[in-house]
């Protein structure tokens, strides 16, 4: 299954992608995670990307397009993948289409998660992430059993630099301007599934699985 999870920052893409990887044994490809790893490693690409990320803007298309093109060639993508946080612009979507066509592949589905702006701010300000394994939590909606510690690996939980209210508002505006046109883009392509993301995590998960099974 070749899938895109589309939605604003905080919609639950990462949370649901993790569940889908376990369900379908296909990898989650998160450009945000890949970029944050490059920042942590201090690579040239990471240093350049950091400025855009800290400001709540988008990293230039050619950088992320290159990352995804390489990643899709890896062996673990043979049976499919879940793209989380990519594409975020129409040129990225066009480039993805071209890369897949070169490989003789086609997208199966794009799931669009819809969540109100105020709920997004609440989700993002309360988001915590494991330093070791990257698992996401929420202080209220999905807390770890021990405060500040990952249930899966015991790693320390941290708050992302860009999950501060001012940067969050900027990211939501960037989503509205540059990413939301992709909803119509994929609707026109006949691959869009729309899902109400305002329900609790487990209910979104159930609905997502039944939508995928029905389609």
Q: Tally the C-alpha atoms within 13 A of residue 79's C-alpha that lie toward its C-beta.
A: 6
Tell me which of Zn ion, ligand ADP, none is bound by residue 2, counting a contact when its beta carbon lies within the kind-specific cut-off of 5 to 8 angstroms: none
Q: How far is the CB of 190 from ligand ADP (least distance, A)?
A: 23
d(CA 81, CA 64): 16
Tell me which of Zn ion, ligand ADP, none is bound by residue 67, counting a contact when its beta carbon lies within the kind-specific cut-off of 5 to 8 angstroms: none
Q: Are 179 and 89 in contact (CB under 8 A)?
A: yes
Q: Are 11 and 115 in contact (CB under 8 A)?
A: yes
User: Collapsing DSSP states into helix, strand and coil, what is residue 144?
Assistant: coil
Nearer to ligand ADP, 26 or 112 (CB): 112
d(CA 173, CA 58): 11
Is 136 a binding residue for ligand ADP by CB under 6 A? The answer is yes
Contact track, ligand ADP, 12-51, x by CB under 6 A: xxxx---------------xx--x----------------
Angle at 180 between CA 7 and CA 102, to 5 degrees: 85
Is the bond preceding 87 in cis, omega lying within 30 degrees of 0?
Answer: yes
Q: How far is the CB of 130 from ligand ADP (least distance, A)?
A: 12
Q: Which residues form the catalytic set?
A: 13, 88, 127, 160, 171
Nearer to ligand ADP, 23 or 104 (CB): 23
Other CB atoms closer than 10 Å to residue 54's CB: what's the count? 12
Contact track, ligand ADP, 58-87, x by CB under 6 A: xx----x--------------------xx-
CA dihedral of residues 16, 83, 184, 196 (deg, nearest 10): 0
Nearer to Zn ion, 153 or 189 (CB): 153
Which DSSP string corresponds to 83-112?
EES---SHHHHHHHHHHHHHTT----EEEE
Q: How far is the CB of 36 from Zn ion (least distance, A)?
A: 15
Nearer to ligand ADP, 104 or 107 (CB): 107
Tell me which of ligand ADP, Zn ion, none is bound by residue 172, counting a contact when its beta carbon lies within the kind-specific cut-off of 5 to 8 angstroms: none
Is 6 a binding residue for ligand ADP by CB under 6 A? The answer is no
Which helix (H) or strand (E) is 119 found in, with range?
Answer: helix 117-125
Q: Applying CB under 6 A, which residues contact ligand ADP?
A: 7, 9-15, 31-32, 35, 52-53, 56-59, 64, 85-86, 88, 92, 123, 126-127, 136-138, 141-142, 162, 171, 200-201, 204
């Amino acid at each position: 299954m070749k899938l895109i999870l589309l939605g604003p920052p905080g919609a639950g893409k990462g949370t649901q992608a993790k569940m889908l990887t376990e369900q379908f044994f296909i990898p989650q490809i998160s450009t945000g995670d890949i970029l944050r790893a490059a920042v942590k490693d201090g690579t040239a690409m990471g240093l350049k990307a950091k400025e855009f990320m800290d400001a709540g803007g988008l990293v230039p298309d050619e950088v992320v397009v290159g990352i995804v093109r390489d990643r899709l060639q890896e062996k673990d993508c043979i049976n499919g993948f879940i793209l989380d946080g990519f594409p975020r612009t129409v040129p990225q979507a066009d480039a993805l289409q071209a890369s897949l066509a070169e490989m003789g592949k086609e997208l199966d589905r794009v799931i669009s998660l819809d969540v109100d702006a105020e709920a997004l701010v609440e989700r993002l300000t309360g988001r915590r992430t494991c330093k070791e394994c990257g698992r996401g939590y929420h202080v209220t909606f999905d807390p770890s059993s021990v405060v500040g510690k990952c249930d899966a690996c015991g790693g320390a939980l941290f708050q992302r630099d860009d999950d501060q209210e001012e940067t969050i508002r900027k990211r939501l505006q960037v989503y509205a301007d540059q990413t939301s046109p992709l909803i119509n883009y994929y609707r026109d392509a006949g691959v869009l599934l729309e899902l109400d993301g305002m329900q609790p995590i487990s209910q979104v998960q159930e609905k997502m699985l039944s939508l995928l099974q029905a389609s």
